[in-house]
């Protein structure tokens, strides 16, 4: 099975599983909401009865929160109690955690009216006076009950003769002043009572007794208790969808089919988008495996496939550069060894044919030529190891001033023989490096400087600390290097004089090895030169290494 079909099968499996899980969750959630709505409807009578009784008993909605929270704990329903004016008295969802998102209200609700309805006798005498008396008693009682409730005292409720409850203050030994103050605040003046009586009598005056008069007096009573009586309220129970709504299977199945279709189309497009670049990469890698190092792939975008394409192109570039280096190295080695080996072969054939006589001077010359070829081979090996990162380094804390003085001592005899003054000016600067490789670097630069400097000249070595770097300069007063040749100084087999003689010697690999060793130590080297004035090589090494001494 191809990768494309495996991806399609996997994604379709995930899509079908997700769709099935979604359907199950929808059914489960809807069933739960239906059960919650049914439970809310069953709890509505309990809640409305308790809240109506509270309004009747206390004459206010103050303090109702504790009762609502108890009802919430008993029924397990969200209870939303809102006054007729729109003021939310209690909402259990907000009370539990104000920071949490409030769920949608359900549709199971009830109406609570804690206000009494005046029930006057039919055909009675002085109905207006009865109404005024009941109005005075209820308003004073409600004020008393509300005041007692605010102070945590439960008022005493008694049924009245005409449907209007009567309120009394209990005997509270612990707070007699509170009860007395609430009683005093609840009283109304006689003038207010007489004014109510006159207003009611005037408003409801009619030619004879009867039912319309009773309705008018009851309406007047309700209007005049509005300012003191608790407002009617609306209570909503439960959350979620309306109770009793049935589930429609058709739309759910259509949504599931739509999700599956979208997943299939998206998977097909995704597989095409992924597999096409992979096919291009596969073809390019096959060409690369057959030896076509110029093979590259186009890069589009910044996704994972683009990153893979860039990595492939970098790998191909690296392989191509390595192949070019290898070919150049073989060509350079062949060039460097061809002439000396031809000389050796010519002398050996001449000796074999008896053309020349063997003597100590000839054998010394042949030996010197063999030593030179051996040095070239050794330098090539060191350079190959260094470029491959396999050259062994034994790092330690090194005082560069002492190391430079050691190099000066080692080359003093050569300098004296050439008639060149070799001096060192250094301050102590510690670095973390391989001392033998650093001596190889400095020794190579000193050797080259002595070769380029004639008798009476000078080679100066200086060491200074500049910030976090140690800077070593090897300067000579020799013949110098032409400006157009400076970019090639550190190339393999580059030499200032193209003819390799006994006096100038060298393999042409020393400076390439020097640069690689310094690079491995986190340093660098640069050169500045002027013909017939001299040359200066500048080495920079970090004073604080990345790794401490062990």
Whether residue 514 has pLDDT greater than 60: yes
Better pLDDT: 179 or 34: 179
Contact 449, 477 (CB under 8 A): no
DSSP reduced 3-state for 540: strand
471 and 404 within one domain: yes
CA torsion, ordered 270, 272, 274, 279, to nearest 10 deg: 170
Containing domain of residue 104, as a range?
A: 3-114+240-247
189 and 71 within one domain: no
Give the confidence band of 500 by pLDDT, cuts at 50, 70, 90.
very low
Strands of 382-493, DSSP E: 396-399, 421-426, 430-433, 458-466, 469-476
Q: Which of 326, 342, 358 is the last residue of a domain?
A: 342
In sequence order, which residues have a C-beta less than 8 Å from that of residue 507 and are 6 or more positions away? 336, 372, 375, 376, 379, 380, 493
Candidate from 285-299, 326-340, 354-368, 396-410 with smallest mean pLDDT: 326-340
pTM of this structure = 0.42
Give mean pLDDT, residues 330-356. 78
Query: CA–CA distance from 12 to each of 20, 262, 273 (Å)?
Result: 12, 10, 17
222 and 157 within one domain: yes
**Model confidence over 363-418: pLDDT tens digits?**
887 887 787 777 777 777 777 777 667 677 889 999 999 999 999 999 999 999 99
Contact 65, 95 (CB under 8 A): yes
**Model confidence over 69-86: pLDDT tens digits?**
888 888 888 888 998 888
468 and 437 within one domain: yes
Identify whether 193 is part of a domain. yes
**Model confidence over 178-191: pLDDT tens digits?**
888 888 777 765 56
Give the confidence band of 245 by pLDDT, cuts at 50, 70, 90.
very low
Whether residue 224 has pLDDT greater than 60: yes
538 and 394 within one domain: yes
Spatial distance between the Cα atoms of 67 and 235, rounded to a whole number of angstroms: 13
Whether residue 244 has pLDDT greater than 50: no
For residue 502, what pLDDT is reported? 40
For residue 474, what pLDDT is reported? 96
Identify whether 347 is part of a domain. no
DSSP sequence for 362-386: HHHHHHHHHHHHHHHHHHHHHHHHH
Candidate from 131-140, 219-228, 329-338, 362-371 with smallest mean pLDDT: 329-338
Spatial distance between the Cα atoms of 400 and 543, rounded to a whole number of angstroms: 10
**Model confidence over 135-181: pLDDT tens digits?**
888 888 888 888 888 888 888 888 888 888 888 888 877 777 888 88
In sequence order, which residues have a C-beta less than 8 Å from that of residue 137 and are 6 or more positions away? 160, 164, 166
Spatial distance between the Cα atoms of 70 and 83, rounded to a whole number of angstroms: 19
143 and 93 within one domain: no
CA-based angle 73:77:81, to the nearest 5? 95
**Model confidence over 422-451: pLDDT tens digits?**
999 999 999 999 998 899 899 989 999 999
Query: Strands 534-542, 524-530: parallel, antiparallel or unpaired by DSSP?
Result: antiparallel
156 and 109 within one domain: no
- 137, two tokens: 């008693």
528 and 394 within one domain: yes
- Mean of pLDDT over the chain: 80
For residue 501, what pLDDT is reported? 46
Identify whether 160 is part of a domain. yes
Spatial distance between the Cα atoms of 50 and 145, rounded to a whole number of angstroms: 17
Whether residue 12 has pLDDT greater than 70: yes
Question: What CATH number has the domain bearing residue 437?
Answer: 3.30.565.10
């Amino acid at each position: 099975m191809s990768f494309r079909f495996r991806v399609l099968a996997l994604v379709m499996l995930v899509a079908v599983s997700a769709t099935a899980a979604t359907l199950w969750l929808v059914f489960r959630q809807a069933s739960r909401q239906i059960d919650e709505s049914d439970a809310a409807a069953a709890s509505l009578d309990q809640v409305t009865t308790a809240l109506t009784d509270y309004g009747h008993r206390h004459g206010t909605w103050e303090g109702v929160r504790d009762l609502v929270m108890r009802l919430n704990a008993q029924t397990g329903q969200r209870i939303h109690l809102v006054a007729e004016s729109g003021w939310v008295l209690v909402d259990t969802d907000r009370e539990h955690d104000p920071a949490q998102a409030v769920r949608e209200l359900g549709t199971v609700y009830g109406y609570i009216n804690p206000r009494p309805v005046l029930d006057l006798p039919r055909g009675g005498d002085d109905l207006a006076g009865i109404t005024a008396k009941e109005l005075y008693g209820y308003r004073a009682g409600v004020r008393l009950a509300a005041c007692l409730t605010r102070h945590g005292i439960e008022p005493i409720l008694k049924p009245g003769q005409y449907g209007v409850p009567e309120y009394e203050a209990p005997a509270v030994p612990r707070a007699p002043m509170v009860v007395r103050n609430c009683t005093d605040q609840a009283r109304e003046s006689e003038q207010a009572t007489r004014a109510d009586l006159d207003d009611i009598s005037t408003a409801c005056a009619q030619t004879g007794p009867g039912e319309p008069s009773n309705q008018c007096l009851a309406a007047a009573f309700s209007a005049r208790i509005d300012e003191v009586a608790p407002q009617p309220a609306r209570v909503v129970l439960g959350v979620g969808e309306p109770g009793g709504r049935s589930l429609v299977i058709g739309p759910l199945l259509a949504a599931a089919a739509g999700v599956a279709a979208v997943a299939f189309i998206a998977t097909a497009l995704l597989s095409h988008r992924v597999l096409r670049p992979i096919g291009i990469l596969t073809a390019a890698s096959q060409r690369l495996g057959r030896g076509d190092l110029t093979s590259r792939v186009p890069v589009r975008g910044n996704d994972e496939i683009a990153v893979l394409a860039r990595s492939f192109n970098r790998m191909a570039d690296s392989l191509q550069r390595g192949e070019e280096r290898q070919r150049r190295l073989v060509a350079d080695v062949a060039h460097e060894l061809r002439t000396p080996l031809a000389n050796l072969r010519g002398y050996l054939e001449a000796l074999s044919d008896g053309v020349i006589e063997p003597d100590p001077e000839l054998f010394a010359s042949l030996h010197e030529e063999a030593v030179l070829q051996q040095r070239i081979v050794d330098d090539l090996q060191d350079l190959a190891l260094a470029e491959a990162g396999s050259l062994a380094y034994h790092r330690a804390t090194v005082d560069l001033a002492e190391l430079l003085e050691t190099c000066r001592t080692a080359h003093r005899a050569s300098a004296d023989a050439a008639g060149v003054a070799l001096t060192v000016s250094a301050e102590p600067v510690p670095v973390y490096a391989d001392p033998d490789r650093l001596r190889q670097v400095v020794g190579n630069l000193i050797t080259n400087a002595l070769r380029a400097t004639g008798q009476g000249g000078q080679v100066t070595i200086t060491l200074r600390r500049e910030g976090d770097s140690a800077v070593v300069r090897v300067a000579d007063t020799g013949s110098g290097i032409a400006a157009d040749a400076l970019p090639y100084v550190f190339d393999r087999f580059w030499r200032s004089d193209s003819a390799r003689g006994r006096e100038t010697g060298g393999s042409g690999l020393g400076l390439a090895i020097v640069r690689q060793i310094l690079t491995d130590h986190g340093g660098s080297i640069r050169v500045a030169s002027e013909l017939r004035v001299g040359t200066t090589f500048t080495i920079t090494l970090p004073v604080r290494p990345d790794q401490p001494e062990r």
